[in-house]
Amino acid sequence: MSDNMKDKKFATKAIHLGRVPEDGTGSVTTPIYPSSTYRMDFPGDDSGYVYSRWSNPTRQALENTLAELENGKHAYFFSSGLAAVTAILHLLRPGDHVVAVSDLYGGTHRLFENLMRNFQISFSYVEGTDPDDFEKAIKDNTKLLWIETPTNPLLKLINIKAASAIAKKHGIITAVDNTFATPYIQRPLELGADIVHHSATKYLGGHCDVVAGAVVTRDDQLAEKLRFNQYAVGATAGPFDSWLVLRGIKTLAIRMERHSANALKVVEFLKTVDLVEKIYFPGFDGKPLQNEMSLPGGMISFTIKADLDTVKKFVMATEVFVLAESLGGVESLINHPALMTHSSIPKEIREEHGVTDGLVRLSVGIEDPGDLIADLKQAFESIR
Ligand SMILES: *Cc1c(COP(=O)(O)O)cnc(C)c1O
């Protein structure tokens, strides 16, 4: 990074950090370098780029930007969020134990239970809204504390500072999935976490047009291992996907402001609807955002007082909100967790965690808020 960017604010950095000057043409944006391999000056010359699985100029421009935006030191970019998760899990060895929050992204839960268990890694799940939950679940062989906050889909808040302090006391690494908040709203490394990771498919990319993931740390030793895992396993992101996320990040600050402002307006509307039973939204229960998030973000979950068929009818009745999985794009999406994103979790476990048949999750986009509210209003009318 050029020194003159060091003291600039987030929105400026997000736009300028990833600009790698290209002398030949004076290109203002970083080019996409598709080359898989790079010319050497002599056999074994590894002073520059060598092979794209190891490093690529477009991907590197993005990795440098992400490291800085998360206030970390090293960042690695992957072909999906779950590839990033896997690189972290590969820090573990057979016999190790992980304490994780229970309201977890479905795909992460599947990877833990259906794959990592085969390698003698064990997992305990705790609610985590009380930091004591973590303390109680830690065993002698616990090596990793796994936090997602806000959680998905119930948007509960975990206190990163308190949780990572507990982990540190026991010599345990804390990893935080920062997909929902993004570094614009919450920076876990500043709060004591060792690793922060993302599904860049969501807000970092921001346009529902790329699948990718990222891992960031300040710790040099962890970085060396994560970099080895990235290179040795090979789930790196390609140059075009890296470039899309580099472009997406330029508007991250303004998008997160608008996602949050729109979501607040939608929540105000939902409060007036008699068919709505419960609303889940960061800070909604009156508790402050624990000073860890600067804005609530764009995700809202709520329950509808109706049977499954009626709720299904509701999620199919919106026109601006698109019925689709995923989140974090400029376009608003509507999701039925029990039938969609969280269908792989057994019904009893799901319901025990509050993912009931009446639950609906919104990813509020950056469209005109009046249009979004009118759309939800007509969908509610359609089920009366
Ligand atoms: C989507 C998501 C993931 C997985 O990322 P992919 O890019 O789909 O592999 C992990 N964590 C959270 C919170 C997510 O929303």
C-alpha of residue 54 to centroid of ligand 1, in Å: 23
pLDDT band at 344 (very low <50, low <70, confident <90, very high): confident
Check if 110 has its Cβ closer than 6 Å to any atom of ligand 1: no
pLDDT band at 4 (very low <50, low <70, confident <90, very high): confident
Locate 113 and state its tokens.
Answer: 């239970």
DSSP 236: B
Q: Work out the average pLDDT over 208-223.
A: 98
Task: Please state, rounded to an integer, the average pLDDT across all residues of the chain.
Answer: 95
Nearest residue (CA) to ligand 1, atom 4: 81
pTM, entire model: 0.96
pLDDT band at 250 (very low <50, low <70, confident <90, very high): very high
4 against 28, higher pLDDT: 28
285 against 67, higher pLDDT: 67
18-42: pLDDT as tens digits: 998 788 899 999 999 999 999 999 9
100-112: pLDDT as tens digits: 999 889 899 999 9
pLDDT band at 234 (very low <50, low <70, confident <90, very high): very high
Classify burial at 319, counting beta carbons within 10 Å of its beta carbon; exposed 0-12, middle 13-18, buried 19 or more: exposed
160-202: pLDDT as tens digits: 999 999 999 999 999 999 999 999 999 999 999 999 999 999 9
Give CA separation, 2 vs 14, 58, 59, 75, in Å: 14, 17, 18, 17
E strands, the chain, in order: 74-78, 97-101, 122-126, 142-148, 173-177, 195-199, 213-217, 276-280, 299-304, 322-323, 333-335, 359-363
Domains assigned to the chain: 3-249 (3.40.640.10), 254-381 (3.90.1150.10)
Check if 197 has its Cβ closer than 6 Å to any atom of ligand 1: no
C-alpha of residue 53 to centroid of ligand 1, in Å: 22
Does the active-site annotation cover 169? Answer: no
Q: Which of 77, 89, 105, 210 to mutate to test the pocket of ligand 1 (most atoms within 8 A of CB)?
A: 105
Whether the pLDDT of residue 244 is over 60: the answer is: yes
60-95: pLDDT as tens digits: 999 999 999 999 999 999 999 999 999 999 999 999
Nearest residue (CA) to ligand 1, atom 6: 81
